[in-house]
């Protein structure tokens, strides 16, 4: 007998519908899987056959052929185990598969017939819903995650026998929309308190101002200065002043974490914006994404939040140059021998560096680094990479009065966050018809429309352009930052004052790389 069951596979965080066709005939007993399968997917034949034999059906050995369609797309993962088993059981006559056209299955099987959780339940559910599926049968552990998107009836199962009972019932009953229960998991109610706050930052008014501008317009942000001046603390405080993520954003952000199995235990969504802080010894594959299955890297796991690169010059040049495309296009294409995957990379880059290997330059009383050492230290940062960073601010050395005996607390994150939220709202309204959200994402068309300069301001920036020999990219970065500064002040037009501050926020570019 023949049967056909629906499931889905993943390519990046997107996916495709897969039909699993099973045919059971008399003949020499065997179990054959076809359809361009990876090693772990081919191993399903042993898991599935043992699971099926442990069921109440106890089928006789026959010639079993299972085909995955479309056959030209490579299938990877163990999530196909359950739909294979269901297809085989239907082909043996356990249930009528024609009653399951609007139902899909995914899950891994144990040899004893148990159904186990898999990674990627959230993106798989999105794919299946987009392809007209209205009902899912999944492992119990994946029910909450699969039900997040809504519009699907999600049924949990824990064993192959339980699955047989489910498919017998479903094949005889029509789909009832009234049985759909939306998973009302609220990440905001579950949000943990941050263990850092901007009120803990001592001194550094200039860096605090630069950080608020960066958060307000989602501008990439580089900090330079002596060791121990608070650069890392400011970077860790950035998530505390960003607006909370919406449910839609949270689902998109959580897809990559679901694929990697990094969602918090017992939680189907992240509770706050990501903050990724990879070590400078990270490999290119771990940073950009890769491996046998081209999994998401740190760049993609930071999407929707902060990617913090501390000790920036210590990262390998190969790793740093991988940032060029994501900083411009906000996605990354991971290409391996077995295929390509596109992952999101829409993050705010925060980076920190010392002015020299010892961290004390230009204080020659403490710094003993030679010019050659300083040049080699900074040599990994290319000019094209620096031009893709909107704000480059320098930290001031801390004074004794900033730390000792200073009981006055600086402004807290909550107060700053309210101002940032107001600027974000203004940008959403401005760009409602342009397909972008933030000033930092403006293209040439948006810059011409929203960064209009009067004659005096235009003459001012022309003089700066000639004197500093700016590139076109740097000029446009200055305009975007100036637009954000104007928004923070509630100004409709960019003034000379706004441009001057935006230009000053690139001061270390000339000092370190001029």
What would the 3-class secondary structure string for 423-466 be? Answer: HHHHHHHHCCCCCCCCHHHCCHHHHHHHCCCCHHHHHHHHHHHH
- Please state the pTM of the whole predicted model: 0.90
Q: Please report, for residues 41, 69, 113, 232, the alpha-carbon distance to residue 81 in angstroms, rounded to integers and kept in the order given.
A: 8, 15, 11, 46
Cα(first)–Cα(last) distance of the chain, in Å?
75
User: 219 and 480 in contact (C-beta within 8 Å)?
Assistant: yes
Bridge-based pairing state of the strands 135-139 and 153-157: parallel
pLDDT digits (tens, 9 = 90+) for 495-513: 999 999 999 998 776 665 5
User: 56 and 161 in contact (C-beta within 8 Å)?
Assistant: yes
Look at residue 178 in the predicted model and tell me its pLDDT.
52
pLDDT band at 180 (very low <50, low <70, confident <90, very high): low
Share of the chain above pLDDT 90, in %: 62
**Range with top average pLDDT, 43-57, 77-91, 336-350, 400-414:** 77-91
pLDDT digits (tens, 9 = 90+) for 382-440: 888 888 999 999 888 777 766 776 666 778 999 999 999 999 999 999 999 998 999 99
User: 224 and 355 in contact (C-beta within 8 Å)?
Assistant: yes
pLDDT mean over 246-260: 91
d(CA 177, CA 237): 45
pLDDT band at 182 (very low <50, low <70, confident <90, very high): very low
Q: Which residues contact 105 (CB under 8 A, 6 or more apart)?
A: 5, 6, 7, 82, 83, 86, 136, 137, 138, 163
Cα angle: 10, vertex 13, 15; to 5 degrees: 35
pLDDT mean over 116-122: 95
Rg (CA), the chain: 28
Compute the 3-state secondary structure of the chain and give helix, strand, coil in percent, each to the nearest 5.
45, 20, 40
pLDDT digits (tens, 9 = 90+) for 2-14: 999 999 999 888 8
Q: How many CA atoms lie within 13 A of 277 on its CB side?
A: 11
Q: Please report, for residues 24, 226, 243, 381, the alpha-carbon distance to residue 370 in angstroms, rounded to integers and kept in the order given.
A: 76, 17, 44, 18
pLDDT higher than threshold 70 for residue 80: yes
What average pLDDT does the structure give for the chain?
88
Q: Which residues contact 183 (CB under 8 A, 6 or more apart)?
A: 144, 147, 148, 150, 268
d(CA 61, CA 53): 9
Look at residue 370 in the predicted model and tell me its pLDDT.
87
């Amino acid at each position: 007998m023949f049967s056909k069951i629906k499931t889905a596979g993943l390519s990046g965080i997107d996916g495709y519908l897969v039909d699993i066709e099973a045919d059971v005939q008399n003949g020499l007993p065997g179990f054959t899987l076809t359809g361009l399968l990876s090693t772990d997917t081919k191993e399903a034949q042993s898991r599935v056959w043992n699971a099926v034999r442990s069921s109440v059906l106890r089928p006789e050995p026959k010639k079993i052929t299972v085909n995955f369609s479309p056959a030209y797309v490579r299938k990877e993962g163990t999530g196909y185990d359950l739909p294979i088993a269901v297809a085989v059981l239907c082909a043996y006559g356990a249930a009528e598969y024609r009653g399951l056209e609007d139902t899909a299955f995914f899950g891994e099987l144990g040899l004893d017939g148990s159904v186990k959780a898999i990674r990627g339940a959230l993106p798989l559910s999105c794919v299946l819903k987009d392809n007209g599926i209205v009902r899912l049968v999944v492992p119990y552990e994946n029910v909450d995650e699969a039900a997040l998107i809504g519009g699907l009836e999600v049924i949990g199962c824990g064993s192959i026998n339980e699955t047989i009972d489910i498919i017998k019932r479903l094949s005889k009953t029509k789909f009832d929309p009234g049985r759909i229960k939306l998973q009302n998991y609220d990440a905001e109610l579950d949000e943990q308190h941050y263990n850092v706050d901007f009120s803990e930052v001592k001194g550094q008014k200039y860096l605090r101002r630069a950080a608020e501008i960066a958060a307000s317009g989602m501008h990439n942000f580089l900090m330079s200065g002596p060791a121990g001046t608070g650069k890392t603390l400011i970077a860790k405080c950035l998530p505390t002043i960003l607006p909370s993520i919406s449910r839609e954003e949270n689902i998109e952000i959580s897809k990559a974490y679901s694929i990697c199995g990094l969602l918090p235990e017992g939680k189907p969504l992240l509770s706050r914006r990501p903050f990724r802080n990879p070590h400078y010894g990270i490999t290119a594959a771990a940073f950009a994404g890769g491996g046998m299955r081209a999994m998401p890297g740190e760049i993609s796991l930071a999407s929707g939040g902060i990617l913090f690169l501390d000790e920036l010059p210590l990262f390998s040049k190969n790793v740093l140059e991988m940032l060029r495309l994501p900083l411009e296009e906000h996605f990354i294409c991971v290409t391996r021998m077995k295929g390509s995957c596109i992952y999101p990379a829409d993050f705010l880059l925060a980076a920190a560096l010392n002015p020299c290997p010892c961290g004390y330059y230009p204080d020659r009383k403490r710094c003993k680094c030679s010019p050659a050492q300083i040049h080699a230290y900074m040599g990994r940062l290319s000019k094209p990479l620096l031009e893709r960073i909107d704000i480059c601010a320098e930290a001031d050395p801390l004074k004794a009065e900033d730390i000792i005996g200073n009981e006055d607390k600086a402004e807290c994150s909550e107060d700053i966050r309210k101002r940032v939220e107001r600027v974000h709202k203004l940008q959403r309204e401005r760009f409602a018809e342009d397909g972008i959200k933030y000033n930092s994402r403006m293209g040439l068309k948006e810059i011409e429309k929203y960064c209009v300069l009067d004659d005096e301001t235009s003459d001012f920036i022309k003089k700066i352009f000639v004197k500093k020999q700016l590139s076109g990219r740097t000029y446009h970065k200055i305009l975007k930052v100036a637009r954000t500064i104007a928004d923070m002040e509630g100004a409709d037009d960019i003034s000379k004052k706004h441009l001057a501050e935006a230009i000053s926020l690139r001061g270390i570019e000339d000092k370190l790389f001029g």
